[in-house]
Amino acid sequence: MTTRIQVAESVLSVNARNAAEVRAGLDARRIFSINLMASPGAGKTSLIERSVAALKSEMAVAMINGDTSEAAFDAERGQRAGALSVHINTHGKCHLEAAMVRDALEQLDLGQVKLLIIENVGNLVCPSAWQLGAHLNVLIASIPEGDDKPYKYPKMYSGVDVLVINKIDLLPYVDFRMDYFRRGVETLNPGLVTFPLSCRTGEGLDAWLDWLRARTA
């Protein structure tokens, strides 16, 4: 005899409630938050380092770093740049969840914080389905990844609010068709706010930083 158990509530709906709780707490403290997503090596931590270093004299910045192990290298990099930082070990999970973010926030002194950057697990599949309570979802694409990513990962590209195209300093050396890439993005997410930049050279960073300043004002 087979016993069937009906699941009354989905895991994602529980996560959505937790995300709403996180958002309410951030709003009450007037903290602007972004959920930063990308594939491994695209430059999430580098962008955080450059952003924190440029903004720390103007505002307090907090960082939550998610990774699949205890290795807290990225969180330590954010801390050295000047951010309040906490590391989350997802124990192999390929994404952060709102409950993890909620618990991490309890470890941070948010009294003066104006900007919270959540560095999600490096992955172009799982994170897009999980709300975290952040105000906006930001995706980093990098030139070495190739120009076909919007076509291969449409759910990720269609579900974000902002796109950063990192490592543009490598365009002369990599076979990357920017028009083809942008056409794929525009088909999925018309009018998407986009910042082409290089964390290595600093090209294009000013526009990104001004956008962060405007959002936290």
- Taking the C-alpha atoms of residue 194 and residue 183, their distance in angstroms, rounded to an integer, is 13
* pLDDT given at position 4: 53
Check: CB of residue 137 under 8 Å from CB of residue 161. yes
DSSP summary character for residue 92: T
* pLDDT given at position 5: 47
User: Which of 134, 122, 116, 192 has its CA nearest to residue 160?
Assistant: 192
Helix (H, G, I), strand (E, B) or coil at 158: helix
* pLDDT given at position 14: 93
Q: Give the CA distances from residue 56 to residues 16, 42, 51, 83, 126, in Å, rounded to whole numbers and listed in that order.
A: 31, 23, 8, 8, 31
* pLDDT given at position 10: 86
Tell me which residues of the chain have a pLDDT lower than 70.
1-9
Domain boundaries, the chain: 11-216
> How large a percentage of the chain has pLDDT more than 70?
96
CB neighbours of residue 116 within 10 Å: 29
Task: Give the predicted TM-score (pTM) of the model.
Answer: 0.93
- Taking the C-alpha atoms of residue 60 and residue 74, their distance in angstroms, rounded to an integer, is 18
- Check if CATH label 3.10.20.90 holds for domain 11-216: no
* pLDDT given at position 89: 93
* pLDDT given at position 8: 44
* pLDDT given at position 69: 86
Check: CB of residue 168 under 8 Å from CB of residue 196. yes
